[in-house]
């Protein structure tokens, strides 16, 4: 499983039946027992009999079009297709008779008479099901010849940057169409024309790039011929070995088979046995991995005394010794707590654990924080307070058992695409959807899906909306009284019931503030409370507010009040933004918590770590990220070790962050590119991309999955090795020979991880969900089953406190931010891939009324100004946003969305209020002063980097990516999914 020769995964032909009734039949003399509803084709495969097939695949409903899988059944006339024939008790099936051989050969003859005979030069040579089937049926000649009418001259569509469509090779099996419909849920493909003229068409017979295609690649994976093929396979040929690993983009945590030729990736194929993604992926994970070998990769350690000096390339040893001596010098001069560290949600659990250990044990301070501070820290606080554990309650599979979904402040089609596909599938099956979001996200109305309710909440009023929903549930007798009586604290519940029942919390009383029509809110509350299994999925549109923690608690209140926790199909599910944001929190990255969410002031817990680590630990929490910045500006915080995090681009109020960095004496950056933060650094340590890592990521389901080394670290040292080297140089020994030993230490010290090890993960099929310990040796797919982790669930009062960021005469619009499908976070990776074909700049979405009031037209340059600063973006005039609300993404440093966001934060966790910034917008003709400054500073820093390269007479660059020399593409229309 770890590293294998490349081979196609076993395909059982049709999906598994979920029936519990078992049926016995005989196939070719072999008895087999299968669940009712299983196809004869699948039953045969289970019995080890491979009936030839072309149009069937076990992730798609059977279409019965190719006629290759015909069988004979005793007592039945004709030759039924085994893929569309369900098993029956006592059935006697024959799959290999001379008549069947003859029919199958005839079918193949027809296919091959209209197929190029270029197998030896075809990119799919060696990986083609048509070729395989020709061999299996024993095709020896084609009686119809090749001269008749055919499609051999049809033109190739190479418009998509990642795959080509060659219609001359299409056998019109419709697998691609069904994959797009059933697996991805985009419905971008159809079969155009009839009979011989039928062809696959994207959109309205457009190029793939001009169609609704979101480039997920499911059709490419489904295609049994060379018709839809990855361009990397066309360029490089078939791979010769593969490694199973985990995507490093979003918190879905898709498992992939990295197919390799030597140390070069040929393609990434979603792993069929991946327990989070079940063989599906999105454009980022499947295609956007070329950044790993981009020419901008920084592969040599560098140091400099001041940020206006050129960088000096040095050995790893010199860089590490210099960094350690600076940390000690600064601590000697300014005190032990004048330094700190930042862990990364992009890095593995093992790497993250080591960084927080380095800070606590080697620096001797609790000044450690992580990027979760600025995204899901309110989830930790809110869920821990109410139900006792800082994590989502379900598996992704659980959504297939839900009846009503509340989707709040999340846009999974853009940010968690593989989960979105699963959700869409369930919605097509009949589950109901309630969207609570200021924007009209794709799921409100998309092919074959229409939300029952879209509550267009005014940014900043989430808490009021959820309390109003609770009001409806409490005052209309919709509470699950028995569940609450058994599972929750009575006194807190009664206080909550009284609180939410007050007239001022009714939908009618809050409508003017929230902007949500009272009737819709009442309807949505009734639907959630009475519609069967109710689940809540939410994102940063919930947490990144001044009341983020309160809103998370309001979500938990709703779920407890309706009995929607502790079983399949329900639950409270934070959709995590980054690949390992759950893991970075689990690993003790917050200044007040040791691994496993245990407070540093707990003497017993701290004692365990002190004994294991052989060092005294501080009992007081350290500085949070924003406190570190404030302390740096005021002169008491002087050095920072930052692994895999670009705080200048991703944190709010960019000018304040930059001022803090300028005020420090030593900034140590460990990253793969010279990112915005590294431009302020004094020590640069080359980081490794996910393809070079060995360890584990933990996704939004608490699923710990293995990340395996696909290529050796290009900079010569793995991230965990560099952290160990720094620790050793500081005089605190860290000696591990493999990341598995780090996981063993984590398991030793963290009760929820006690049963986790690399071998356990392998034994569990590639992943395991924590808690995994003596009580749950195989992990915990669903939490809070018999009781809540904290014992009794605790209802919390959720008083609505309006944000300070309110629209005023000076700043009349509310800016909210998010992501787009093709780009990821600060864009450091995706901007260095062909994903820029879809989204090459951040744009400002503005409603036509607001645009007209300001004389703004589509594509105009627009200045947005807040009390923090000003930046300029191009306008996208659209009704996706409501009047009074504007929206942008933050993927490109030059747009500086966070120049505008303010230092307003969540009251409990200091998570920034990214989702509400009061701004004014006006049409302009030139960039903002900040953008001019950014350009100057960036050019200076790149110049200093250049001087380093010239002085050393070499370019410290990676092997060029295969397409990096291409000119920058013109922006194409953005994909339809936005966040
Ligand atoms: S790449 Fe995905 S969205 Fe595009 S046509 Fe294929 S299956 Fe559909
Ligand atoms: S493109 Fe491939 S999957 Fe689609 S119909 Fe043609 S051969 Fe089948
Ligand atoms: S859904 Fe997320 S984890 Fe899966 S391939 Fe896309 S970015 Fe990667
Ligand atoms: S595989 Fe059954 S008809 Fe094609």
Q: What are 441-470's pLDDT values in tens digits?
A: 999 999 899 999 999 999 899 999 999 999
Whose CA is closest to atom 2 on ligand 3? 250
Centroid of ligand 2 to alpha carbon of 199 (angstroms): 9
Nearest to 367 by CA among 713, 155, 640: 640
Centroid of ligand 2 to alpha carbon of 124 (angstroms): 13
Low-confidence ranges of the chain (pLDDT < 70): 1-6, 144-150, 374, 949-979
Nearest to 626 by CA among 599, 597, 655, 656: 656
The single residue listed with the structure tokens 């003399």 is: 29
Centroid of ligand 4 to alpha carbon of 252 (angstroms): 33
Determine the 3-state secondary structure of 534 from DSSP. Answer: strand
Contacts of residue 688, Cβ cutoff 8 Å, sequence gap at least 6: 672, 713, 714, 715, 717, 718, 719
Q: Taking phi first (over 0 means left), then psi (-120 to 50 degrees means alpha), and beta for anything else, what does residue 623 get? A: beta
Looking at all shown ligands, the one closest to residue 700's CA atom is: 3
b/e string for 204-217 if b means 16 or more Cβ within 10 A?
Answer: eeeebbebbbbbbb
In whole angstroms, what separates CA 863 from the centre of its chain?
31
- Please give the helix or strand (H or E) that residue 288 lies within, else none: none
Q: State if residue 179 touches ligand 2 by the CB under 6 angstroms criterion.
A: no
CA distance 135 to 51: 13
Whose CA is closest to atom 4 on ligand 1? 213
Nearest to 693 by CA among 725, 715, 677, 726: 715
pLDDT at position 193: 85
Centroid of ligand 3 to alpha carbon of 578 (angstroms): 10
- What digits encode the pLDDT tens for the residues 790-817? 999 999 999 998 888 888 899 999 998 8
CA distance 556 to 538: 11
DSSP string of 761-775, one letter each residue? HHHTTSEEESP-SSS
Determine the 3-state secondary structure of 714 from DSSP. Answer: coil
Mutate to test the pocket of ligand 3, among 218, 282, 691 (most ligand atoms within 8 A of CB): 282
Looking at all shown ligands, the one closest to residue 103's CA atom is: 4
Contacts of residue 966, Cβ cutoff 8 Å, sequence gap at least 6: none
DSSP string of 40-79, one letter each residue? HHHHHHHTT-----SS--TTS-----S--SB-EETT--S-
Q: State if residue 219 touches ligand 1 by the CB under 6 angstroms criterion.
A: yes
Q: Tell me the backbone φ, ψ of residue 86, rounded to 5 degrees.
A: -75, 150
Looking at all shown ligands, the one closest to residue 222's CA atom is: 2
Q: State if residue 170 touches ligand 2 by the CB under 6 angstroms criterion.
A: yes
Centroid of ligand 2 to alpha carbon of 222 (angstroms): 8
Structure tokens at 690: 């996910």
User: Sign of the CA dihedral 125, 126, 128, 134?
Assistant: positive
pLDDT at position 380: 86
pLDDT at position 144: 65
CA distance 227 to 307: 53
pLDDT at position 830: 87
> Does residue 488 contact residue 560 with C-beta atoms inside 8 Å?
yes
Atom of ligand 3 at shortest distance to CA of 699? Answer: 3
Q: What is the DSSP letter of 183?
A: I
> Does residue 471 contact residue 441 with C-beta atoms inside 8 Å?
no
Mutate to test the pocket of ligand 2, among 165, 228, 229 (most ligand atoms within 8 A of CB): 228
Cis geometry, peptide bond prior to residue 771 (ω within 30 degrees of 0): yes
Centroid of ligand 4 to alpha carbon of 172 (angstroms): 12
Centroid of ligand 3 to alpha carbon of 162 (angstroms): 16
Q: How many CA atoms, within 13 angstroms, populate the side-chain half-sphere of residue 511?
A: 10
Whose CA is closest to atom 3 on ligand 2? 223
Q: pTM to 2 decimals?
A: 0.92
Q: Tell me the backbone φ, ψ of residue 912, rounded to 5 degrees.
A: -65, 150
In whole angstroms, what separates CA 139 from the centre of its chain?
45
Structure tokens at 20: 């519990």
Determine the 3-state secondary structure of 686 from DSSP. Answer: strand
- Please give the helix or strand (H or E) that residue 656 lies within, else none: helix 654-663
pLDDT at position 147: 66
């Amino acid at each position: 499983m770890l590293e294998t020769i490349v081979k196609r995964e076993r395909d059982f032909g049709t999906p598994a039946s979920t029936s519990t009734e078992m049926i016995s039949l005989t196939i070719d003399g072999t008895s087999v027992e299968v669940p009712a509803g299983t196809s004869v084709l699948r039953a045969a495969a289970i019995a080890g009999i491979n009936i030839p097939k072309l149009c069937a695949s076990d992730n798609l409903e059977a279409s019965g079009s190719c006629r290759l899988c015909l069988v004979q059944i005793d007592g039945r006339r004709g030759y039924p297709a085994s893929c569309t024939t369900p098993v029956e008790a006592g059935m006697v099936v024959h799959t290999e008779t001379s008549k069947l051989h003859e029919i199958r050969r005839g079918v193949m003859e027809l296919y091959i008479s209209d197929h190029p005979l270029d197998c030896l030069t075809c990119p799919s040579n060696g990986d083609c099901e048509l070729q395989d089937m020709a061999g299996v049926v024993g095709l020896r000649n084609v009686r119809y010849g090749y001269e008749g009418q055919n499609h051999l001259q049809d033109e190739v569509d190479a418009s998509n940057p990642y795959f080509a469509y060659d219609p001359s090779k299409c056998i019109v099996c419709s697998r691609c169409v069904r994959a797009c419909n059933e697996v991805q849920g985009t419905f971008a493909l159809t079969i155009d024309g009839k009979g011989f003229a039928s062809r696959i068409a994207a959109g309205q017979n457009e190029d793939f790039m001009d169609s609704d295609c979101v480039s997920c690649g499911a059709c490419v994976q489904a295609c049994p011929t060379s018709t839809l093929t990855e361009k990397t396979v066309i360029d490089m040929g078939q791979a010769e070995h593969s490694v199973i690993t985990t995507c490093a983009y979003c918190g879905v945590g898709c498992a992939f088979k990295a197919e390799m030729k030597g140390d070069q990736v040929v393609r990434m194929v979603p792993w069929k046995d991946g327990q989070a993604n079940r063989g599906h992926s999105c454009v980022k994970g499947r295609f956007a991995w070329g950044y790993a070998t981009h020419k901008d990769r920084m592969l040599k350690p560098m140091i400099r005394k001041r940020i206006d000096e050129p960088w000096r390339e040095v050995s790893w040893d010199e860089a590490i010794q210099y960094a350690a001596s600076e940390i000690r010098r600064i601590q000697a001069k300014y005190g032990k707590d004048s330094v700190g560290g930042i862990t990364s949600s992009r890095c593995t659990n093992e790497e993250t654990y080591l960084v927080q250990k380095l800070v606590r044990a080697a620096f001797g301070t609790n000044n450690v924080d992580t990027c979760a501070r600025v995204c899901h820290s309110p989830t930790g606080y809110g869920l821990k307070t109410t139900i006792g554990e800082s994590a989502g309650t379900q598996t992704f599979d659980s959504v297939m058992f839900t009846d009503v979904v509340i989707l709040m402040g999340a846009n999974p089609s853009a940010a968690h695409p593989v989960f979105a596909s699963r959700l869409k599938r369930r919605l097509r099956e009949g589950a109901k959807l309630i969207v609570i979001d200021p924007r009209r996200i794709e799921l409100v109305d998309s092919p074959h899906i229409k939300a029952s309710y879209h509550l267009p909440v005014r940014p900043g009023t989430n808490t009021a909306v959820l309390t109003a929903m609770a009001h409806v549930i409490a005052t209309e007798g919709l509470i699950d009284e028995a569940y609450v009586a058994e599972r929750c604290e009575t006194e807190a519940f009664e206080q909550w019931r009284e609180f939410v029942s007050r007239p001022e919390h009714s939908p009618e009383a809050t409508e003017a503030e929230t902007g949500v029509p009272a009737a819709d809110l009442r309807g949505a509350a009734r639907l959630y409370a009475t519609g069967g299994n109710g689940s809540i999925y939410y994102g940063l549109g919930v947490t990144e507010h001044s009341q983020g923690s309160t809103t998370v608690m309001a979500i938990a209140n709703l779920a407890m009040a309706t009995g929607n926790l502790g079983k399949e199909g329900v639950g409270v599910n934070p959709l995590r933004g980054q690949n390992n944001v759950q893991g970075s929190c689990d690993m003790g990255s917050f200044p007040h918590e040791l691994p496993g969410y245990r407070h540093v002031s707990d003497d017993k817990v701290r004692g365990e770590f002190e004994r294991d680590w052989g060092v005294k630990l501080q009992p007081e929490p350290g500085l949070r990220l924003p406190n570190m910045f404030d302390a740096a500006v005021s002169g008491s915080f002087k050095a920072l070790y930052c692994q895999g995090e670009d705080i200048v681009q991703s944190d709010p109020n960019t000018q304040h962050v930059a001022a803090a960095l300028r005020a420090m004496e030593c900034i140590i950056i460990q990253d793969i590119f010279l990112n915005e933060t590294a431009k302020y650094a004094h020590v640069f340590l080359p980081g490794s991309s996910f393809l070079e890592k060995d360890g584990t990521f933990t996704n939004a389901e608490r699923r710990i999955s293995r990340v395996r080394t696909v290529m050796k670290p290009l900079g010569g040292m793995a991230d965990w090795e560099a952290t160990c080297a720094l620790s050793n140089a500081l005089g605190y020994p860290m000696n591990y020979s493999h990341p598995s030993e780090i996981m063993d230490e984590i398991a030793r010290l963290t009760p929820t991880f006690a049963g986790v090890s690399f071998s356990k993960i392998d034994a569990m099929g590639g992943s395991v969900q924590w808690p995994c310990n003596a009580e749950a040796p195989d992990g915990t797919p669903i939490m809070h089953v018999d009781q809540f982790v904290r014992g009794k669930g605790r209802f919390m009062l959720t008083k609505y406190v309006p944000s300070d960021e309110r629209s005023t005469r000076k700043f009349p619009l509310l800016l909210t931010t998010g992501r787009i499908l093709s780009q990821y976070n600060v864009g450091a990776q995706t901007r260095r891939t062909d994903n820029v074909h879809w989204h090459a700049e951040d744009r400002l979405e503005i409603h036509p009324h607001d645009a007209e009031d300001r004389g703004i037209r589509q594509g105009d340059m627009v200045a947005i100004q807040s009390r923090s600063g000003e930046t300029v973006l191009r306008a996208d005039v659209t009704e996706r946003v409501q009047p009074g609300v504007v929206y942008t993404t933050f993927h490109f440093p030059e747009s500086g969305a966070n120049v505008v966001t303010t230092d307003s934060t969540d009251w409990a966790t200091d998570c920034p209020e990214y989702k509400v910034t009061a701004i004014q917008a006006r049409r302009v003709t030139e960039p903002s002063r900040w953008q001019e400054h950014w350009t100057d500073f960036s050019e200076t820093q790149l110049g200093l980097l250049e001087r380093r390269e010239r002085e050393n007479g070499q370019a410290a660059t990676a092997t060029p990516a295969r397409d990096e020399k291409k000119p920058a593409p013109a922006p194409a229309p953005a994909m339809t999914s936005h966040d």
